[in-house]
Amino acid sequence: MSGTVQLVGFYDDIFLAHHQWQHPERPERVRGVRRILRESGLFDRMTWPDFSPATEAQIHAVHSAALWRSVRRLASMGGGEIDADTYVNAFSAEAAVAAAGAAIAAVDVALTTADALPVALVRPPGHHATPNRAMGFCLLNNAAIAARHAQKAHNIGRVAILDWDVHHGNGTQDIFYDDPSVLAISLHQFPFYPGTGAFQQVGSREAFGSTLNVPLPAGCGDSDYLQAWQQLVTPALEHFRPELILLAAGFDAHWRDPLAGMQLTIAGYHRMAALLRETAQQIAAPVAVILEGGYDVEALGHGLRATLLGLAGDAMHIDALGEPSHPHPQPHIEPLLIEMRRKHPLLNGQSGEY
């Protein structure tokens, strides 16, 4: 790795026990990531410490007791479906608290170990879980639980959660919509599941401006994401100046993903990660990575590898998956970016026009 960056991974085999037949959020996702990290040589350059599952208090700092009670009850009965997309089996509650615990452990390393780059290689993912509802493949909101832990255990004031999963992080938005201490940034395909994430949703009350949604039309690729990043994401982080950045890293905006319609490449993820590294260094904010979605196993594994290389300051010489095999015309997003720069209170330095 570049310089003295130490990669620290958090993983547990319990993540493999959460499964449902033919569901896209399946154990092969994290198996594939670990295989690709091994094949690339990156796995052996990482340390993999033990960690503890999230506690009830840590969960309840974000979620209602009723939500967690319902997940545990369903698991104790052998499992079932929360909704058409979201399942629980006998091991899901244990996997969920382990995933949240891995995210917490990643935050602990980021805030206590100089030059460390921690990554929580977890499932089930978390960014759709709201305070009161498990949904969208998600049971507990891992990034939100980790952010609250950073504030409570480490006395961190401002946290940014940066979510580039192709789906809007509605759960993260709901949890922090009234909280000015957490900047929730989401770049996502729009309109798309779960139907939220319009750019006019900017936070409320004292938190007006602390939600930044970047709703991108289907077909966007590297140049669109990088344009949005440089014009919106970087200025927002520089203005908010978080003391910790949590990257909610989904890789379903890759062109191979079967559930979405974006055209990002592995090289595009590497470039975004490198830009995030530059900004994080400028504002002296450590970064922790928490896995979210991504349903093509090769894109998921190579995307995470590229992200870690970019955040560590390392070059990536070959995009293992290349350019889109059937490219679609990319939409023109400049009008959206202009309107957002003009209207969003975090970007225009004023009170906004909403």
Could you give the CA distance from residue 177 to residue 175 in angstroms, rounded to a whole number? Answer: 6
- The answer to whether the beta carbons of residues 140 and 96 sit under 8 Å apart is yes
DSSP string, 236-285: HHHHH--SEEEEEE--TTBTT-TT---BB-HHHHHHHHHHHHHHHHHHT-
Neighbours of 187 (CB within 10 A): 29
Could you give the CA distance from residue 341 to residue 338 in angstroms, rounded to a whole number? Answer: 5
User: Nearest to residue 91, comparing CAs of 20, 31, 14, 21?
Assistant: 14
270 is catalytic: no
Q: Which of 18, 127, 128, 167 is catalytic?
A: 128
Q: How far is CA 187 from CA 20, 56, 279, in A?
A: 28, 31, 17
- The answer to whether the beta carbons of residues 132 and 63 sit under 8 Å apart is yes
Could you give the CA distance from residue 78 to residue 84 in angstroms, rounded to a whole number? Answer: 17
Burial of 81 (0-12, 13-18, 19+ CB in 10 A): exposed
| Residue positions annotated with a catalytic role | 128
